[in-house]
Homo-oligomer: A and B are copies of this chain.
Amino acid sequence: MEKEFVLQMLEERQFKELKAELENMHPVDIAEMMEELEDKQMILIFRLLAKDEAAETFTEMNNDAREILLNALTDSEIKEVMDEMYLDDAVDVLEEMPANVVDRLLMATDEETRKQINTLLNYPEDSAGSIMNVEYIAFQKEMTVEEAILKIRQVGLNRETIYTCYVTEKRKLIGAVSLRELLTTGDNRTIEEIMETNMLYVHTHDDQEEVVGMISKYGLIAIPVVDNDMRMVGIVTVDDAIDVLEEETTEDISMMAGIVVPSEDSYFETSVWEHAKSRFPWLLFLMLSATLSGLVLGHFEAAIVAMPILNTFVTMLTGTGGNCGSQSSTLVIRGLATDEIEFKDIFKVLFKEIRVAALVGIMLAVVNGIRIVFMYHDVTLALSLGITLLFTVIIAKTIGCVLPLVAKKCGLDPALMAAPLITTLVDATTILVYFSIVTKIFGL
């Protein structure tokens, strides 16, 4: 709706009205709308935005839209946007841009900012340093509450968050004070009296997942980031934490589906070729591994020729095994991601899974047994399939729960040990168990 409205105003050249309309829109929504416009319209609208709104909108856009804009804007316009952007957002933009655009962007910033940007760009990818904000409020411990509030009132406007403030001494982090605390205590108390000295913090090189885990676990609005000498260098805010959380979830889920996790580009932004490249490796590996179950099946060729009906149950058995295994591995992978399960729980998990497997296996064997007796009037067949099912479910759930835990222990991502790999492993095992049982029972 909004898009049509904006386009109409653009066409009728009602720039003043459009400008007012845009001021009422949230930058997130402006960015979303602009991504759907033609290049020329997008540039026109961007130029109508107020300075700070333009910077925020630019931050929210996808890379394709950003590139189009940067190629159209003049150097002084770019400088305006860069000046208004928060440093951490500027760094995010730079990380995704081609080299020639990066140069132009860096040229548009003053030397001090450029230095800060370069420091931020040097933190390892996915580290606390790479997602932190370098703008925050720090007090000295000798300040009174009144002075602290005054300081916030003076500088607050330019800082991304003021709701948690920090106390530093020779740049070292020594305490934290929430704005709520400041506002609800006596004006004449000193910061030292009210500050929390036992505050939570992270190091610049800590993994972003860990940072987000702490923000989520303790319900924080922000967490300070310190270097190896406890010098405070920035904060990670909860809104950035949520973005990281969603990004990490997408990564985990993709990996669990056998997709080599590529860029941070979205589905549509990723080219067909990039998609193919990220999906091919696992497919290839799994296809070749499936040769194993093929060989096992080939080994029992004589039994199949002697009793062809046995073959019709193979997909049912491998399918059930695969599903059982991926149920277990999924629960364990998720438990590891949310810190509920640790490696030391391996026997607790195993014991639980085996009991669940026994229960589920028996239930499936009974239902399938009834079906077989009903369809084929063959109790021996029903019985051997039942035994196979029980074994399959137990083996599958054992493999499914143990592998992610072992992967974690070995420093691998547990999400690698998900459905695709488990299924392939379980396939071969299931076929082996199945034919070992039936060849014995039917004397093939």
**How many residues does chain A have at the interface if contact means C-beta atoms less than 8 Å apart?**
107
Q: Is the interface of A mostly helix, strand, loop or mixed?
A: helix
B-side contacts of A3, CB under 8 Å: none
* Contact of A28 with B217 in the complex, beta carbons under 8 Å: yes
8 Å CB interface, A288-328 against B: 288, 290-291, 293-295, 297-298, 301, 304-305, 308-309, 311-316, 318-320, 322-324, 326-327
* Contact of A246 with B314 in the complex, beta carbons under 8 Å: no
* Contact of B420 with A267 in the complex, beta carbons under 8 Å: no
Within the complex, which residue of B280, B301, B330, B334 is in contact with A308, where a contact is CB–CB below 8 Å?
B301
Within the complex, which residue of B221, B341, B360 is in contact with A238, where a contact is CB–CB below 8 Å?
B221
Q: A156-B184, A198-B24, A301-B308 are in contact. Are A360 and B253 (CB under 8 A)?
A: no
CA of A424 to CA of B322, assembled, Å: 11
Q: Which of A6-14, A126-134, A348-356, A405-413 contacts B (4 or more CB under 8 A)?
A: A348-356
B-side contacts of A356, CB under 8 Å: 272, 275-276, 279
Q: Mark A156-180, 1 if CB is under 8 A from B, else 0.
A: 1100001100000000000000011
* Contact of A319 with B286 in the complex, beta carbons under 8 Å: yes
CA of A305 to CA of B253, assembled, Å: 41
Q: A149-B183, A273-B359 are in contact. Are A331 and B287 (CB under 8 A)?
A: no
Q: A279-B356, A297-B311, A423-B322 are in contact. Are A364 and B287 (CB under 8 A)?
A: yes
CA of A363 to CA of B283, assembled, Å: 10
Within the complex, which residue of B24, B257, B298 is in contact with A326, where a contact is CB–CB below 8 Å?
B257
- CB of A335 closer than 8 Å to a CB of B: yes
Q: A253-B330, A294-B313, A419-B257 are in contact. Are A323 and B272 (CB under 8 A)?
A: no
8 Å CB interface, A354-368 against B: 355-356, 359-360, 363-364, 367-368
8 Å CB interface, A206-246 against B: 215-221, 238-239, 241-243, 245-246
**Between-chain CB contacts (< 8 Å), 9 pairs:** A152-B183, A219-B239, A245-B246, A267-B340, A268-B341, A275-B356, A293-B315, A304-B311, A326-B419
